[in-house]
Amino acid sequence: MQSATFYQLVNFRPKLQTFQSKTPTLFSTRRMASVSGFRRMALDGSSSSSSTVASDDGFVTLMEYMGKGGGIGVNDDLVVLIDHLQYACKRIAALVASPFNHSIGKQTSLGDFPNTGSDRDAPKPLDILSNEIILSSLQKSGKVVVMASEENDTPTWISGDGPYVVVTDPLDGSRNIDASIPTGTIFGIYKRLEELEDLPTEEKALLNSLQSGNRLIAAAYVLYSSATILCITFGSGTHAFTLDRSTGDFILTNPSIKIPPRGQIYSVNDARYFDWPEGLRQYIDTVRQGKGRYPKKYSARYICSLVADLHRTLLYGGVAMNPRDHLRLVYEANPLSFIVEQAGGRGSDGKSRILSLQPVKLHQRLPLFLGSLEDMEELESYGDIHQKVNPGYEV
């Protein structure tokens, strides 16, 4: 069998012909999902027939959820934008699962990515492709003025008319991709700042991208794992939708996620233990032994893929953290903190609420702690949890 060419991969389209695409419809015709056993779900998580999202057949798609009032404050422009983004993520889901993706970079110039010279890590070929897929979707949506991505040194000005600004990490966790470990896409959406109109384009693009997280109007991650899960908030709860691969629809599977107030899991790269500050070491030593405020021994889970580690934490509770200045405020910490807060948890840099921070640089890094309220409170009470020794690890 021949390997796919770079051109084929960039233009790669998933085979599911039922995927919604270029022409978004606000109330798309429902296709019967093939998965059996889902019951009608109300937005409060119960299986009531008085759901705010009426359903004839028990399934609520993301588009129906948004179109029929599930997302408070979600207007037509935003529905169009999310439709394009979800389509982009379906393409990325297909790309990361493709048997041909290992050959990109070996047969094209994408193989030798120079380090950018900035404080960003050198991207992998799939990072670049995912970035292109998202950019192209945003361009086609006509709803986005600026995209700020992990993969570009500066924000990309898209369309003078677009009402929204999108910040994104197109493919997080890609360092593990060759081993098929889960990866994810993260994005946050802001309204464009009208008051900047008179500034030069470059400046406008940057300032629009550096909005504080408490101005986010929507945020989502998409987890590419055994299932593809899109978890989103519009500021009224956090809801997860699972891709039905037979129809191409994201189906509401976890409405109004509530992170347990206390979990029994901590998630951190603890090979760094000897570089940690004393407070963090003490906290981990304590909960490991079941000597913390919750008198049970904690377990460790660390996938080294932020979206996957967070998704598990949202569902099972506990804390997911990276205590060194590694993760990015604008397109990782802010969108994920918004999602966690909307599920009843907390996102912090060890001291302050992430969403209250004012970004000063596009690729600004910081320590990130996300999780259950009680676990976060206990962890932060140790004070000294920011790892300042950051030698630059090879793996």
Ligand X SMILES: O=P(O)(O)OC[C@H]1O[C@](O)(COP(=O)(O)O)[C@@H](O)[C@@H]1O
Binding stretches for ligand X (CB under 6 A): 121, 172-175, 269, 304-306, 322, 326, 393
Q: Which is nearer to ligand X, 113 or 157 (CB)?
A: 113
Whose tokens are 């969403």? That residue is 355
Residue type (1 letter), 75: N
Smallest gap from Cβ 172 to ligand X, in A, equals 5
Smallest gap from Cβ 19 to ligand X, in A, equals 27
Smallest gap from Cβ 180 to ligand X, in A, equals 15
Residues in CB range of 129: below 8 A, 6 or more apart: 9, 10, 95, 104
| CA–CA dist 234, 71 (Å, integer) | 6
In 10 A of CB 179, how many CB atoms? 6
Max Cα separation, the chain?
Answer: 59
Q: Which is nearer to ligand X, 143 or 363 (CB)?
A: 363
Q: Which is nearer to ligand X, 295 or 392 (CB)?
A: 392
Residue 284, token pair as written in the block: 């981990």
Report the candidate in 92, 100, 82 with the shortest Cα–Cα distance to residue 14.
Answer: 92
Smallest gap from Cβ 119 to ligand X, in A, equals 11
Residues in CB range of 288: below 8 A, 6 or more apart: 297, 298, 300
Smallest gap from Cβ 117 to ligand X, in A, equals 16
Smallest gap from Cβ 368 to ligand X, in A, equals 9
Alpha helix ranges (H) inside the chain: 6-10, 62-67, 76-96, 125-141, 201-209, 278-288, 306-316, 334-342, 373-380
Q: Which is nearer to ligand X, 51 or 101 (CB)?
A: 101
Angle at 104 between CA 138 and CA 177, to 5 degrees: 80
- The residue whose Cβ lies closest to ligand X is 269
In 10 A of CB 299, how many CB atoms? 14
Q: Which is nearer to ligand X, 52 or 269 (CB)?
A: 269
Smallest gap from Cβ 93 to ligand X, in A, equals 17
Q: Which is nearer to ligand X, 83 or 151 (CB)?
A: 151
Q: Which residues are catalytic?
A: 121, 127, 150-151, 169, 171-172, 332
Contacts 24+ apart (CB under 8 A), 162-165: 162/192, 163/77, 163/191, 163/192, 164/77, 164/78, 164/81, 164/189, 164/190, 164/191, 164/192, 165/189, 165/190, 165/191, 165/192, 165/193, 165/208, 165/209, 165/211
| CA–CA dist 185, 86 (Å, integer) | 10
Q: Which is nearer to ligand X, 273 or 393 (CB)?
A: 393
Q: Which is nearer to ligand X, 182 or 345 (CB)?
A: 182
Output the DSSP codes for 230-267: EEEESSS-EEEEEEETTTTEEEEEETT----SS-SEEE
Residues in CB range of 286: below 8 A, 6 or more apart: 292
DSSP label at 218? Answer: E
Smallest gap from Cβ 231 to ligand X, in A, equals 16
Residue 341, token pair as written in the block: 């807060």
